[in-house]
Amino acid sequence: MRAILSVVAASLKTNGSSALLAQSAGAPNAAAALGSPDQAPVFRSGVEVMEVDVTVVDAKGMPVRDLRIPDFTVTIDGQPRRVMSAEFISASYTPSTEPARPRDPYVSNNTDRRPGRLIMVVVDRNNIDTHTIRTALGAMKQFVTSIAPEDRLALFTIPAPGPSVDFTTNHALVLDAISRIVGSDDRMMSQRNISDYEAVSFENRSNPIVTQQLLYRACGDTDPNT
């Protein structure tokens, strides 16, 4: 079984410091303990729900599918945390036999959550060249074809403009957009091509070795005064 657990964690902040609490109800007592007799403590307490990804298999290595909330125990720094929910996520997709219910595209709530995951893929075109991006795009395509059809996928490329797709279950649309991504970190292969670091080093005279290499490559001279 691969499950996503929603776990309650309480936190307390007082006078610029923070402490992790086992129960949110204990926040006032913990705050008093952190304060000093001369100064009244100022604190804020809150409860956060965090997700924990777990995998459970039996003695034969097969996933256990019928676990429920009471079957899990979660601790943080030795303190138990209350498990709010446990959701089974299968590694292999099994089509649902239930008919799809009509949905209002303008209304959303927490009780009628769609099945599947929300996955966003972001590609920074500025820091990858045309040659290197081919391997990355191949890996992304393999990932897209491996996820369940009910997973909603989004693609964004930075900086704009570039291929982008909003969250959708149409994975073929995302695959097509991935094929049109082009890296923009290509550099001119020239002896007079100057990097940003070389330009700054030359201007500030901060790195004599880099300055000499730059002058020799561009001018055939290593004297920065000529």
* pLDDT tens digits along 76-135: 888 888 888 887 776 665 555 666 566 555 555 555 566 778 889 888 877 777 777 778
Same-domain pairing of 81 and 135: no
Residue 193 lies inside a defined structural domain of this protein: no
Quickly list DSSP for 207-225.
Answer: -HHHHHHHHHHHHS---TT
- What is d(CA 137, CA 132) in angstroms, rounded to the nearest whole number? 9
Of 137, 154, 179, the last residue of a domain is 179
**Average of per-residue pLDDT values in the chain:** 72
Residue 107 lies inside a defined structural domain of this protein: no
Residue 163 lies inside a defined structural domain of this protein: yes
Of 142, 157, 179, the last residue of a domain is 179
Q: What is the pLDDT of residue 171?
A: 92
Residue 48 lies inside a defined structural domain of this protein: yes
Same-domain pairing of 6 and 75: yes
Predicted confidence band of residue 39 (pLDDT cuts 50, 70, 90) = low
pTM over 0.95: no
Same-domain pairing of 77 and 141: no
Find tokens 């304060």 and name the residue: 35
Domain count of the chain?
A: 2
Residue 214 lies inside a defined structural domain of this protein: no
Residue 137 lies inside a defined structural domain of this protein: yes
Of 179, 201, 220, the last residue of a domain is 179
Same-domain pairing of 8 and 71: yes
Burial of 210 (0-12, 13-18, 19+ CB in 10 A): middle
* 15 close to 41: Cβ distance less than 8 angstroms: yes
Residue 140's domain comprises: 118-179
Residue 96 lies inside a defined structural domain of this protein: no
Same-domain pairing of 16 and 61: yes
Same-domain pairing of 66 and 128: no
Same-domain pairing of 135 and 64: no
- What is d(CA 50, CA 82) in angstroms, rounded to the nearest whole number? 11
Same-domain pairing of 136 and 72: no
Residue 207 lies inside a defined structural domain of this protein: no
Q: What is the pLDDT of residue 23?
A: 39
Predicted confidence band of residue 24 (pLDDT cuts 50, 70, 90) = very low
